[in-house]
A and B are shown apart, each in its own frame.
Chain A
Amino acid sequence: MNAIDRLHPTVMPVYFLAILLVAMFVSNPVISLLALLGGFLFCMTQCGLREMRAELKFYIPLFLLMALTNPLFSHNGVTPLFFMNGNAVTLEAITYGAAIALMVLAVLSWGKGFGRVMTSDKLVYLFGKAAPQLALMLSMSLRYIPMLRRQAKQISRAQKVAGMYSTESYFDRLRSTFRVISALIGWSLEQAVETSRAMRARGYGLKGHTSYSNYHFRRTDALLLTLAAILLAVVLVGIGMGAVDFAYYPAISALPHTALSVAVYTAFGCLSLLPSCIELGEQIRWNYYRSKI
């Protein structure tokens, strides 16, 4: 249980959507960097350092790939660095590739952290009122996945004992997996019918059914949502007034640094870093209290 988990399920989606909206619509390197920083920190607080290091092994090559291949497809820009097959490789194209790659990495890291926070029970809670049948189906599927995986492992173990799965060849593994799936299908369909019988026996679909949830909208949640609304308003007004306009083509423009654009950077930085700050603050407090015991 961490600080983010205790928030109401509506809070994090609001932050997530607000940050992604701005990060993907605004092509300003400062905004992209702030979004990336927030995403990395958030991902780190949710997934831990070791997993983050493994992620970086995937992120860094992706970044280089995107930054370096953009000049192959885009020959815009006024500053040619050198010519390849008669096409100019421009400084602007490389910079634009790098900027897009930053944005992509920011979105990926936010998506990863968010996926960790928005557990299935929260999603079902959010959608349950508007679409109860869909939410029920989603939650049942989610429940079946680990169950079926466990069953698949049992089936494959039983087959291994019976002497199958003997070689490492592609086709042998393919055949064995097919056998497991075939057994799994029969088993799971029977499960499905039994479940539906049990549901009907307990009165599914009758009038007056209520559902249980353990989420409360607290003062912290209201505060965080208001804060998000204010910060997003500042950012959007700033964007509307062109305070953070930035162009890569034809020539890289100067980075806007008026008072208004600094205000937009600050507001977006707060928006992007707030979730990780909440989490880090909680962890510091936890360690502080524990050190006093």
Chain B
Amino acid sequence: MKKWISYGLLLVGIPLVLLLGATVFSTKQYAWLAMAVMVLTCVPFFLSFEGRQHGATRLVVIAVLAALSVVGRLLFAPLPGAKPVTAMVVITALYFGGEAGFMTGALTAVLSNFQFGQGPWTPFQMFAWGLIGLVAGLLAKPLKRSRVALCVYGALSGVLYSLLMDIWSVLWYDGGFNLSRYLATVLTSAPFMAIYAVSNVVFLLVLEKPIGSKLDRIKTKYGI
């Protein structure tokens, strides 16, 4: 049943929203439409997560990791551009799978925006971070094996995150996609993009080992 709702949303809901956008609300509503599409894209993941019974440990650990990445974002807030969120999401995905990565990313976006300000950009951040986690989960094997691959993934996800959020800003300001405005936005946010990419790599390199060993230690200590 839930599976059908997910497929229905993806296959019918999104085209329907786009069609509505193209016909009824002729111009300038792209920001809204993009937001609706983002929300609809996130819903199937939530439904599939809800559909299975998870053990208490898994639920609590994912909740704690999401809270940790929110607190990490808060702790690093005085240092502009440096956000440990991506690293936390990727590490969660490596050890608990892509779905847990998606949940951590999406939860972090919602929860940290209670502090940094909720708005129509929240679904975009949910989607961006969730997707970073999901893909990291799918690539868990090669990413765990080689640190180089992990660094490349961190840098790439920083760049893609920035590019995606720039699309959002342009849609939001212009009401439509304006290429020259997009290029200007990308250019002005280039320093941030660089900081994202570099800080993701740094965070991943610094945090991956300690968190991994701590998870292992917990596993031995409590016999999970």
Interfacial residues, chain A to chain B (CB-CB below 8 A): 24-25, 27, 66, 70, 73-74, 100, 104, 107-108, 111-112, 114-115, 120, 131-134, 136-138, 140-142, 144-145, 148-149, 152, 170, 173-174, 177-178, 180-182, 184-186, 188-193, 195-197, 199-200, 204-205
CA distance A191 to B214 in the complex (A): 13
A-binding segment of B7-15, B125-133, B145-153, B172-180? B172-180
A-binding segment of B45-53, B136-144, B158-166? B45-53
Chain B binding surface, main DSSP class: helix
Please state if A138 and B67 are interface contacts (CB–CB under 8 Å): no
Please state if A177 and B114 are interface contacts (CB–CB under 8 Å): no
Q: Closest chain B residue to A186 by CB distance?
A: B214
Q: How far is the CB of A24 from chain B (nearest CB, A)?
A: 6
Please state if B111 and A142 are interface contacts (CB–CB under 8 Å): yes
Q: Which of A149, A192, A204 contacts B63 (CB 8 A)?
A: A192
Please state if B118 and A144 are interface contacts (CB–CB under 8 Å): no
Please state if A192 and B60 are interface contacts (CB–CB under 8 Å): yes
Please state if A185 and B214 are interface contacts (CB–CB under 8 Å): yes
**CB-CB < 8 A to B180: which residues of A?**
73
Q: Is B16 an interface residue (CB 8 A)?
A: no
* Interface residues on chain B, number (Cβ under 8 Å): 61
The 8 A-B residue pairs with the shortest CB-CB distance in the complex, in nearest-first order: A144-B67, A140-B63, A192-B64, A196-B56, A196-B57, A196-B60, A148-B71, A199-B56
CA distance A66 to B173 in the complex (A): 8
| Given A73-B184, A100-B175, A196-B56, residue A133 in contact with residue B68 (CB < 8 A) | no
| Given A145-B111, A148-B68, A149-B71, residue A73 in contact with residue B181 (CB < 8 A) | yes
Please state if A193 and B222 are interface contacts (CB–CB under 8 Å): yes
Please state if A188 and B50 are interface contacts (CB–CB under 8 Å): no
